[in-house]
Amino acid sequence: MMEFRASALVVDDDPINRMLLSKSLEQQGHRVMTAENGLEALAALQAQPFDVVLLDVLMPEPDGYEVLARLKQDPGLRHVPVIMVSALEDIQCVVRCIEMGAEDYLPKPFDPVLLRARVNGCLTRKRLHDLELEYMEQVGHVVHAAAAVEDGVFQPDSLDRVAERGDALGQLARVFQRMAREVELREQALKRQVQQLRIEIDGARAARQVAAITETDYFQDLQRKVDELRSGSEAD
């Protein structure tokens, strides 16, 4: 089983249990924060993200059941895996916790090997869940990009993160970027051609206007008079 270095919250009103759990988790390489009651735990969870919570069942202000219920009711916290920790041997306690949304259950006194297995199992499932959420989010970026291409407002840089992927979604994002840049280059070339054509048209129009003026009888008569005056001036 793969192990992930994680941020863990240990919630237990017994300082010895907090110390033992924290030390064991730290030895596994995880970052650990502790709370001695339910209120502290809820405040910590609102203040910063955690990858896993080890939550004591029987403790004050409020107990583990209530903390678990509040977590599962919060859209921003419901996906954080919770391992319930208790000395209770009652199977009904385990069933109740799992039915409420706990990821797993760890009996006291805890076995370090079992703790490692339970934590790593939770982290693996959370990692897969996070990857799935990231994938769906990036699929959304590609869908928006398709609409932007159709509307002519697509920005290739908007898919940079998706394009870094090594899977089919990343390949699709790179295709979008390449197509958009090719279209942009063609549009720039077309604009230059149109600009050059406008210059040529303006020049031709100006030439026709000059020709229309110089070819009139009035202009020709003026030109003869200018030539006569110039010839007389040179004779003097």
Task: Say whether 63 sits in a helix, a strand or coil.
Answer: coil
CATH class of 7-130: alpha beta
Contact by Cβ (8 Å): 59, 38:
yes
User: How high is the pLDDT of residue 2?
Assistant: 45
What pairs with residue 160 in β-bridges? none
Q: Any idea where the domains of the chain sit in the sequence?
A: 7-130, 155-226
User: How high is the pLDDT of residue 71?
Assistant: 94
* Mean pLDDT per 10-residue segment, the chain (236 residues): 75 93 94 94 94 91 91 92 84 86 89 91 85 80 76 77 80 77 72 77 71 70 67 60
Is residue 97 packed enough to be buried (19+ CB in 10 Å), middle (13-18) or exposed (0-12)? buried
User: How high is the pLDDT of residue 1?
Assistant: 42
162: nearest Cα among 179, 149, 175: 175
Task: Say whether 105 sits in a helix, a strand or coil.
Answer: strand
